[in-house]
Structure 1
């Protein structure tokens, strides 16, 4: 800190003041303004499909606490894991969260900057008076020491917030990846159910044609024809309903990926093994350690703890140091230090302290509420998976025998050895059981993904 040198009049003072301001700008450096308009060409580029080559390279370089890099091969159907990572790479919503991460990092940078000194100046012209008077001026250079006293705390607050944002981004990426996996599994199992329903509709159509032929020959009744027509319409409606569900699931997946609604994605088939040996309390303990959103809340709470401490520091007087240079009418100079401080008589930062403490209490309750919700979600999912396993086991055991019976009766009906009514009864039962088993397998596959999300880890055993 330096004093303004003594000068003789307005011109000298303005020259010295201008030189000091110019030197400050040159030393500190200034950031220029750059316009960022919403260009239509750029927006069209953002809406276009990403280049496959860039996605393949990015998928092998992913660094995430819960997602591992994968090798994308767009010439083959993609697994649910590959689709999950692809969603993380291209999801438009995630790009918004990553922009928030950049804002948090900028806040950390801002918190670590030292305060700029302040320069005050005053100049008076002498219009009348005794001979020999000169124009006086005053110059003061001040520096607020309060920022220095709280700088480390401000940095700790900003760093805690930045860590919270980073963990929130990672958690959102984890959610998006698993939502893509869930939708991929839904597409696969619904497509299998649609194939079964379509096959059943085709068989019903054949039986209807055969009944019409027999009716013309006098070997069937109008009642039988009505039964065949009702069975065909039911099978056709079921097939169309499943086709609509498949189309919706694929559109949901495209929306998540930011792809056009009708964009085709080849999904690899798989057999998801339902998890077994699940223990609710053990999974909850693992979730407390693994879930990124809980870690984000912990980071936010730590940041707020620092904010409370920062508010406590604010109740003490804030000091400002300065240096003055006075040039009087009689053309002589004086100068010296100045000290200013707040007098904590009325405010004493009590309002800020109250807000900080109330916010900390709010975050504490949010954390406890999230723990309760996590435990409840895990308990519900474990119960659902156990019930699905109980329903699935007898179906999986009985379906092969029912499949054999349906095939034998179909051959016998074609040969005229059994009535179509008997075959239709067995066939309807076989179709219902087969679709129910596929629906249970779909529910188990989706609930397994949901349980991984609830625990916060790909490994739930």
Structure 2
């Protein structure tokens, strides 16, 4: 912005501070106005902020509100803690603090400028010249409303960004909670199956030594056991990854062991909920509202750049005295000629940025509806696969129950029973992974339409 300054100068009258020494020559002092200027400056500086050191910590600062022996946590407790300790939320809160500070800074008026100058003559018969001035940047008032509106919109943008982060963290915490509980349950079951298959393999080896079974049967049992061991190792790795992700989200000290209560069974998002949420999606979803606020902020910055293209104009009123003790008063006017710059570069940048945000908002709005439709279609396919997997698992469980009864009666051999047990284990693992995929997609859908993944109520 080109600055317009109105300057008012007060001149010091030497007749008020002159003294005539014994030599007969008149001496004039300039120290009185200098003292006034220094006192004014000292008063102004007395309101300045003071520096306070803030050293960085040497060790991590972990909260100690959750101990290793804590009672089982419910899903509501986990979500509540995630909202209070998530690193993503902490970062969004810091961004909001910065935006608040910038709004405060943009709302401050510029300080007036106090100036003092003096010239001391190098020849006899002349008096010191001086000038005291007080100036103010009037041009800052021209674009101040646009700057304040831009700062307000920037603060609203960060507030909405924080709200969007909370939406994502809440639903993500729920998904991680259910995921960890499912892994714990499945891991215990696979461990039991592995122990059972290990005993079967040992029995097969003894039967092979007695020549009661063929080598192919013994090798098949050994292979099934090794496959189960590999599945258990993979499950433990996936469980460890999900557990570490949950610990990071909850800001837990490394080594903390959490006990999670059984969560409520997730259920499908009703189609009516999806349709109702899509109707007002652009007016409810925080990331879209944040883009709106960002566009409004940029629009004000573009407006401010247009205001800044006008020439800079300085206006001053002077009152001074030269070394000949002659007092003068005058008016000074200076203006820049916008021949080479004229703030045209900044105008072009702000205009292009506004256009970019306009395009981004339209694309984000289109992507939101497209993503909801895509996830709904994918959920339909995954739901069919999950139901087929559950049906197959139920059929295998019935077959295993019958085979066990037949084995006890001596009608089914151990290799046949072991093969059915292995198939059931593989199907349970596959069904559990399908259920987890369905859960993740449901959580993503709930986040996109702005409802809770727990009870499907609107997020606020």
Establish whether TM, by shorter chain, passes 0.5. Answer: yes
What is the CA-CA distance between 1:300 and the residue it aligns to? 0.8
What is the CA-CA distance between 1:387 and the residue it aligns to? 1.0
Instruction: Measure, in 1, the Cα distance between the counterparts of 2:209 and 2:341.
Output: 100
Which digits, 9 at most, give the CA deviation of each residue in 1:364-410, with x for residues without a partner? 12222322332333233212211111112234345444323312211
Please state whether the residue corresponding to 2:323 is helix, strand or coil: coil
1:287 aligns with 2:281: yes
Aligned pairs (5 A) from 1:444-455 = 444-455=438-449
- RMSD over aligned Cα, in angstroms? 2.9
1:325 aligns with 2:319: yes
Which digits, 9 at most, give the CA deviation of each residue in 1:223-265, with x for residues without a partner? 2211211111111211121112111211122233333443212
Work out which structure has the larger RCO, using CA pairs closer than 8 Å and 6 or more positions apart in sequence. 2
Aligned pairs (5 A) from 1:1-150 = 3-7=10-14, 8=17, 12-27=29-44, 29-40=47-58, 44=59, 46-52=60-66, 75-128=70-123, 131=125, 133-150=126-143
Gap change, CA 1:110 and 1:364, over 3 Å in 2: same
Which digits, 9 at most, give the CA deviation of each residue in 1:308-362, with x for residues without a partner? 1111111223444444220123324333554444333442221111111011011
Instruction: Measure, in 2, the Cα distance between the counterparts of 1:244 and 1:184.
Output: 16
What is the CA-CA distance between 1:170 and the residue it aligns to? 2.5
1:201 aligns with 2:194: yes
1:349 to 340, 343, 349: 343
Gap change, CA 1:37 and 1:12, over 3 Å in 2: farther
Match of 2:235 in 1: 242
1:374 aligns with 2:392: no
Q: Is the contact between residue 211 and residue 225 of structure 1 (CA under 8 Å) also seen in structure 2?
A: yes
Instruction: Measure, in 1, the Cα distance between the counterparts of 2:295 and 2:409.
Output: 76
Instruction: Measure, in 2, the Cα distance between the counterparts of 1:331 and 1:105.
Output: 53
Aligned length: 436
Instruction: Measure, in 1, the Cα distance between the counterparts of 2:84 and 2:436.
Output: 26
Gap change, CA 1:5 and 1:323, over 3 Å in 2: same
1:190 aligns with 2:183: yes
Q: Is the contact between residue 12 and residue 130 of structure 2 (CA under 8 Å) also seen in structure 1?
A: no
Unmatched 5+ stretches in structure 1: 54-73
Provide TM-score, normalisation by structure 2.
Answer: 0.85
1:364 aligns with 2:358: yes
Gap change, CA 1:229 and 1:52, over 3 Å in 2: closer
Aligned pairs (5 A) from 1:309-324 = 309-324=303-318
Instruction: Measure, in 2, the Cα distance between the counterparts of 1:6 and 1:84.
Output: 74
Q: Is the contact between residue 291 and residue 457 of structure 1 (CA under 8 Å) also seen in structure 2?
A: no
Please state whether the residue corresponding to 1:47 is helix, strand or coil: coil
Unmatched 5+ stretches in structure 2: 1-7, 19-26
Instruction: Measure, in 1, the Cα distance between the counterparts of 2:37 and 2:117.
Output: 15
Q: Is the contact between residue 187 and residue 232 of structure 2 (CA under 8 Å) also seen in structure 1?
A: yes
Q: Is the contact between residue 9 and residue 132 of structure 2 (CA under 8 Å) also seen in structure 1?
A: no
Instruction: Measure, in 2, the Cα distance between the counterparts of 1:265 and 1:290.
Output: 35
Q: Is the contact between residue 154 and residue 293 of structure 2 (CA under 8 Å) also seen in structure 1?
A: yes
Instruction: Measure, in 2, the Cα distance between the counterparts of 1:11 and 1:165.
Output: 60
Q: Is the contact between residue 76 and residue 266 of structure 1 (CA under 8 Å) also seen in structure 2?
A: yes
Gap change, CA 1:202 and 1:25, over 3 Å in 2: same
What is the CA-CA distance between 1:39 and the residue it aligns to? 4.5
Instruction: Measure, in 1, the Cα distance between the counterparts of 2:442 and 2:428.
Output: 21
Please state whether the residue corresponding to 2:135 is helix, strand or coil: strand
Instruction: Measure, in 2, the Cα distance between the counterparts of 1:92 and 1:433.
Output: 37
